[in-house]
Amino acid sequence: MRPSATTTGRVPAGRARPRRTARLEPLLWLGPALLLIGGIVLWPVVEMVLTSLREISRTGVPRGWAGADNFSALLDHPELVPVIGRTIVWVAGIVAVTVALSLGLAQLLHARFPGRRLVRWALIVPWAASLVMTAIVWRWMLSYFYGITNRVLTDLGVIDSPRDWLGDPTIALLWMMWVGVFVSLPFTTYVLLAGLQTVPDEVHEAARVDGASRWRTYWSVVFPLLKPALLVATVINVINVFNSFPIIWAMTRGGPGNATDTTTTFMYKLAFVDQSVGQSAAMAVVNFLMVVVMVLLYLRAVRWKEIG
Partner 1 sequence: MTVPAAMMRKVLLTACAWLVALVVLAPYVQMLLTALKPHEELFASPPGYLPESWQFGNFLEVWRVAPIWEYLRNTVLIAGLSTVLAVAVALPAAYYTARRRFRGRRMFLLLVLVTQMFAPTALVIGIHREMLALGLIDTYAALILVNAAFNLAFSTWILHAYFSSIPVELEEAAWLDGCGTLQALLRVTLPLAVPGVVTAVIFTFITAWNEFVVALTLTSTPETQPLTVGITAFIGQYEVQWQYLFAASLIAIVPVVALFAYIERFLVSGLTAGSVK
Site for partner 1 in 128-187 (CB under 8 A): 128-134, 136-138, 140-141, 145-148, 150-151, 154, 162, 182, 185-187
| 96 vs 122, beta carbon nearer partner 1 | 122
CB of 96 to partner 1, least distance (A): 19
Question: Based on the number of CB atoms within 10 Å of its own CB, is 201 exposed (0-12), middle (13-18) or buried (19 or more)?
Answer: exposed
Which residue lies nearer to partner 1 by CB, 108 or 203? 108
Q: Which residues 14-73 are close enough to bind partner 1 by CB under 8 A?
A: 15, 25-26, 28-30, 32-34, 36-37, 39-41, 43-48, 51, 60
Nearer to partner 1, 173 or 241 (CB): 241
Taking the least distance from each CB to partner 1, the nearer of 90 and 138 is 138
**Cβ 81 to partner 1 shortest distance, Å:** 20
Dihedral angle of Cα 242, 243, 248, 250, to the nearest 10 degrees: -160
Interface pick for partner 1 out of 21, 76, 113, 160 (rule CB under 8 A)? 113
Nearer to partner 1, 48 or 171 (CB): 48
How large is the angle between the packed helices 169-197 and 116-128, nearest 10 degrees? Answer: 130
* Site map (CB under 8 A) of partner 1, residues 255-274, x = contact: ---------x--xx--xx--
Residue 34 Cβ, how far from partner 1 at the closest point, in Å? 8
CA dist 289 and 3 (Å) reads: 34
Give least dist CB 275 to partner 1, A: 12
Q: Which is nearer to partner 1, 259 or 301 (CB)?
A: 301
Which 224-253 positions form the footprint of partner 1 (CB under 8 A)? 228-229, 232-233, 236, 239-240, 242-246, 249-250
| Whole-angstrom distance, CA of residue 269 vs CA of residue 131 | 19
Find the distance separating the first CA and the last CA of the chain, reported in whole Å. 9
Site for partner 1 in 72-101 (CB under 8 A): none
Residue 221 C-beta: closest distance to partner 1, Å: 18
The size of the interface with partner 1 (CB under 8 A), counted in residues, is 114
Min dist CB 85 to partner 1, Å, is: 19
**Residue with smaller CB distance to partner 1, 172 or 271:** 271
